[in-house]
Each structure stands twice: as C-alpha cells, then as structure tokens.
C-alpha cells in the first residue's frame, strides 16, 4: 500500500483539486484507491458528494478502534473510496500529538490489503497532523503555483524537513500555470534544476477545474477531454511510473 500526500504550507494552491483528480485517474487505471480527506474544510468530501462525518468519531479512528466498514465510504467512481473529513480535526491534531511517528499509516493497517494507493488531502498548516503525515507517506506531492512566493514556501518546507531530520521526499509539480505569463515561464524553466524530483507535467490554470465545485465530481466525469483533465491524466501516468 503506497501512500502519497497532497501537501503544502500554502493555501489555495490546488491540493484538493489535485488530490481528487489524481485519485480518480489512479482509480480509472484500475488501482484500488482510498482518498483520505484530512482537511476540516472538507472540500474533497464535498467534491465526492460525501458528508463530512466520521461515524463513531475521530477518537475511535485515531485509537484504531473504528469500524472501517462504516467510516470508509464508496464514491461515484469504481475503485475509489473516501475516508471523509472530520469537522473536529483539532481533536485529531491533539490525539495525534500523543502518538508516535507514522501513526496515520498504522491507523490504516486493518484496510491495508484492500487498497493499492492511499492519497491524503491535507490542510495548509504545519501541525502534529502534518508531522505525522511526513512520517507516514512515501512522498509529498507539493503543488506549486509558478510564483516567487510559492517557491519560497517550498523551500521553507524543505528546510523544515532537513532541520527535523525527516527523510520524506518532496515531489513538487506546477499547478495553476499560465504559459502566457512571462514570469510563470521563467519560474518553471528554473525549477527543474533546483528540484530534481519535480514532476514534469504541469496543471494549467483552467476554469473547468473551478467547475468541479458545481459538478461535484472529478474532471474525468464531466470534462474528460479538457486540457486540465488530460494534464491530470498525464501527471498520474508519470506518478505511476515513478511508484513502479
Ligand atoms: N488548475 C486550476 N485552474 C483553475 N482553478 C483552479 C485550479 N486548481 C485549483 N483551482 C481553484 O483554486 C481554488 C483553490 O484550489 P484548491 O481548493 O484545490 O486548493 P487547496 O490548496 O486545496 O486550498 P486549501 O489550502 O484551502 O485547502 C479553488 O477555487 C479551485 O477551484
Ligand atoms: Mg484543500
């Protein structure tokens, strides 16, 4: 069971849009995928039409006493299940503070044979939850809008991981890219050298991605031929190759 997190300290960079669309692409490719909505804003749960509620409560889940049959929900896509958000995620953070490293991975032990891939959609913060994410996943997928400030947060994240000796690989990729903008082109051109693990497929800025909120579905279900849907499909293929 591989685990990837869509993570950035920065808000509004496309973590949720990417988590939903990459999970949908992985499911379409035949992988058994679990998407875990770790953000109390519950946007992922909203996109997939699932109520943000953990049956039995977050406490039971973190303590490993939850009944996964009830907590994990099916979605409108074959092969894609969702572990919904809990609005009480402050509680989650406190509960995780008392647990060891990789506890999020431990929590999923009872279902580890049911899924090939787990994708985490994370809130934009540095917390006990995020430290637990770093120690649980195989890599952090970091969406980067091609601007100077967005690159700066990526560097801050790298520094944090280095300072805390956390050996979690950073796999940045570009989102909300506008190739007509000179600054975007310049930033993107400089990135590959600085970030050798950067993924090469960029997600363009496209209004169809914003429509996900109205359609409440991944792009492949309502705009499969759009440039953005194709970009997510290509990004998934690149990821699949890297995961081996
Ligand atoms: N490629 C894109 N093109 C156009 N709009 C996009 C794109 N990706 C995301 N958006 C829009 O930008 C906003 C933020 O995206 P998203 O919610 O995925 O970011 P996020 O990093 O998860 O935010 P948060 O930090 O609040 O969780 C949303 O309104 C979304 O529809
Ligand atoms: Mg989000």
Q: CB–CB of 143/21 below 8 Å? A: no
Confidence grade of residue 89 (pLDDT, cut at 50, 70, 90): low
Homologous superfamily (CATH) for 2-236: P-loop containing nucleotide triphosphate hydrolases (3.40.50.300)
Phi, psi of 36 (to 5 degrees): -110, 115
Residue to substitute in 210, 216, 223 for testing ligand 1 pocket (most ligand atoms within 8 angstroms of CB): 210
Ligand 1 mean position, distance from CA 2 (Å) = 24
pLDDT value, residue 88: 65
Residue to substitute in 17, 22, 141 for testing ligand 1 pocket (most ligand atoms within 8 angstroms of CB): 17
pLDDT value, residue 143: 98
Ligand 2 mean position, distance from CA 244 (Å) = 27
C-beta atoms surrounding 193 within 10 Å: 8
Residue 93 to residue 53: CA distance in whole angstroms: 16
What are the extents of the domains in the chain?
A: 2-236
pLDDT value, residue 177: 93
6 sits in which H/E element: strand 2-6
Q: Is the pLDDT of residue 184 over 90?
A: no
- What is the number of alpha carbons within 13 Å of residue 42 lying toward its C-beta? 16
pLDDT digits (tens, 9 = 90+) for 106-152: 999 999 999 999 999 999 989 889 999 999 999 999 999 999 899 99
Q: CB–CB of 51/78 below 8 Å? A: no
DSSP state of 177: B
Q: Residues with Cβ within 6 A of ligand 1?
A: 11-17, 39, 41, 43, 124, 175-176, 203, 205-206, 209-210, 228
Place of tokens 């647990």: 99
């Amino acid at each position: 069971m591989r685990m990837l997190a869509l993570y950035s300290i920065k808000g509004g960079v496309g973590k949720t849009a990417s988590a939903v669309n990459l999970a949908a692409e992985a499911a379409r490719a035949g992988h058994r995928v679990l998407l875990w909505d770790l953000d109390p804003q519950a946007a992922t749960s909203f996109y997939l039409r699932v109520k943000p509620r953990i049956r039995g409560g977050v406490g039971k889940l973190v303590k490993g006493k939850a009944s996964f049959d009830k907590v994990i929900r099916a979605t409108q896509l074959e092969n894609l299940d969702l572990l919904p958000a809990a609005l009480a995620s402050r509680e989650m953070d406190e509960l995780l503070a008392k647990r060891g490293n990789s506890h999020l991975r431990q929590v999923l032990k009872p279902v580890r044979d049911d899924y090939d891939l787990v994708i985490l959609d994370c809130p934009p913060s540095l917390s006990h939850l995020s430290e637990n994410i770093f120690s649980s996943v195989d890599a952090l997928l970091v969406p980067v809008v091609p601007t100077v400030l967005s690159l700066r947060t990526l560097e801050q994240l790298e520094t944090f991981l280095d300072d805390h000796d956390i050996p979690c690989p950073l796999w940045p990729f570009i989102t909300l890219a506008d190739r007509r903008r000179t600054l975007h082109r310049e930033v993107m051109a400089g990135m590959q050298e600085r970030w050798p693990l950067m993924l090469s497929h960029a997600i363009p800025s496209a209004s169809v991605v914003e429509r996900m909120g109205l359609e409440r579905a991944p792009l492949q279900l309502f705009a499969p031929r759009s440039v953005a849907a194709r970009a997510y499909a290509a990004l998934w293929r690149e990821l699949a190759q890297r995961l081996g």
